[in-house]
Amino acid sequence: MVLLRTQRLILREFEEADWTALHAVESLPEVARYQWFAPRTADESRAYVLGALRGAREQPRVTYDLAIVPPAADRPIGRVGLGVTDAAIGEGMLWYTLHPSVWGMGFATEAGRGLADFGFRELRLHRIWADCDPANVASWRVLEKIGMRREGHLRENARIKGAWADSLIYAILDREWV
Ligand SMILES: CC(C)(COP(=O)(O)OP(=O)(O)OC[C@H]1O[C@@H](n2cnc3c(N)ncnc32)[C@H](O)[C@@H]1OP(=O)(O)O)[C@@H](O)C(=O)NCCC(=O)NCCS
């Protein structure tokens, strides 16, 4: 069970009942805009939470998909995740999604930093990376604010909503994490 506290947020394991709060986020077109998935149906949001619960039980655990919860309201406003993409070299991938009502308040940066800190200090990862659509400025700004370095720009390596999309690759190493 992972429970992390940042300055303004709690990052905790999902509970099944969280799916309605997550659905309020994942069903929005502006949330899905730069992601590979379409706005989620209720069934898809519920399946996502159930998948996160399964991931939390796996041994060895490779996926840490956590609910982002403001302490005052025990209701997720989004999610932040870290997946071990290569255990042999200690590499993990970071992702995040928040409800638009809380965009621009630094929450993704705070949550991403909190989970990356867990990745380096507790999981002893060597490298944490992330990718995002170059058009998703808010997302790559978050990665830069976390301290990640832009390592590459892949051209048309993804299909997003039936169109080619580029990807920016960002990463930070354990020795760069302070
Ligand atoms: C990406 C996302 C998580 C960012 O969350 P957030 O809590 O608003 O992020 P933060 O407030 O920590 O930082 C956002 C930064 O981007 C900047 N920003 C946002 N939109 C911008 C735009 N269109 N142009 C330039 N900068 C922009 C903000 O000003 C802020 O930078 P600053 O602190 O230097 O001013 C949020 O927009 C989201 O959930 N989007 C939908 C899901 C998604 O795309 N996830 C990422 C998939 S790769």
Residue 141 Cβ < 6 Å to ligand 1:
yes
Q: Over the stretch 164-178, which tens digit does the pLDDT of each residue have?
A: 999 999 999 999 998
Q: What is the pLDDT of residues 93-133, one digit of tens each?
A: 999 999 999 999 999 999 999 999 999 999 999 999 999 99
Q: Determine how many CB atoms are found less than 10 A away from the CB of residue 170.
A: 22
Measured distance CA(167)–CA(26) in Å, rounded: 21
State whether residue 177 is helix, strand or coil.
coil
How far is it, in rounded angstroms, from Cα 100 to Cα 103? 5
* d(CA 142, ligand 1 centre) in Å: 6
pLDDT for 142 equals: 98
**Positive or negative: CA dihedral 166, 145, 78, 89:** positive
Q: Which atom of ligand 1 is nearest to the CA of 109?
A: 12
Helix axes 42-57, 19-26, angle to 10 degrees: 120
Quote the mean pLDDT of the chain: 97
Sequence-distant (≥ 6) Cβ neighbours of residue 153 within 8 angstroms: 134, 166, 167, 168, 169
Which pTM does this prediction carry? 0.97
| Residue 171, ligand 1, Cβ within 6 A | no
- Residue 178 has what pLDDT? 85
Ligand 1 mean position to 59 CA, how many Å? 33
Q: In what order do the strands lie in the sheet with 78-86?
A: 3-5, 10-13, 63-69, 78-86, 91-98, 127-132, 163-173, 149-160
For 123-157, letters b (16+ CB in 10 Å) and e give: bebebbbbbbbeebeebbebbeebebeeeeeeeee
Assess whether pLDDT exceeds 90 at residue 74.
no
Domains of the chain (ranges; CATH) run 3-176 (3.40.630.30)
Q: How confident is the model at residue 34 (pLDDT cuts 50, 70, 90)?
A: very high
Q: Whose CA is nearest to atom 15 of ligand 1?
A: 138
Does 163 score more than 90 pLDDT? yes
Mean pLDDT over residues 138-150, rounded?
A: 98
Neighbour-count burial of 46, counting CB atoms closer than 10 A to its CB (0-12 exposed, 13-18 middle, 19+ buried):
middle
Cα 81 from Cα 64, distance rounded (Å) = 5
Q: Given the CA of residue 110, which atom of ligand 1 is nearest to it?
A: 12
Closest CA to 14 of 30, 2, 31: 2
**Type of residue numbered 80:** V
